[in-house]
Amino acid sequence: MSEPTQIAPTGDGPVFSQMTPELRALDLLHAKYGKGDMPAPYITIHGLVRELALQLPTLAAFEMWREELGISPDVVTLRGSEQPWLEASGQYAGTTVALSVHFPAAVSSAAQGVSA
């Protein structure tokens, strides 16, 4: 998994102008996929850790975005235990794009053989 670039904070934190690569990547993603049928992610642009984060609603949506962005399945990592999630990141348009999908507690319990 690629490591996001750290921004040196100024004053109380990073300044908006330092987020240009992430905003450009978001603009390019919207231009490419904004009129199609790609699942809509919950989008966060992290200022201190330079990355564009896309949280997807389902595993299928996660896989669609991962494939479209050319992120290798080898970098997909399972995190957490009681409420697990998958994450993966790669480079797009000069910035780190991080994908994640969270699993509901009922699915997590079933996966662990525990009744919900």
The one-letter code for the residue type at 80 is G
Using CA atoms, how far residue 81 sits from 23, 70, 86, 107, in Å, is 33, 27, 11, 12
Beta strands in the chain (DSSP E): 5-6, 42-46, 49-56, 77-79, 85-92, 95-102
| Number of residues assigned to the chain | 116
pTM above 0.85, yes or no: no
**Statement: residue 2 has pLDDT above 50:** yes
Q: What is the pLDDT of residues 55-72, one digit of tens each?
A: 999 999 999 999 999 999
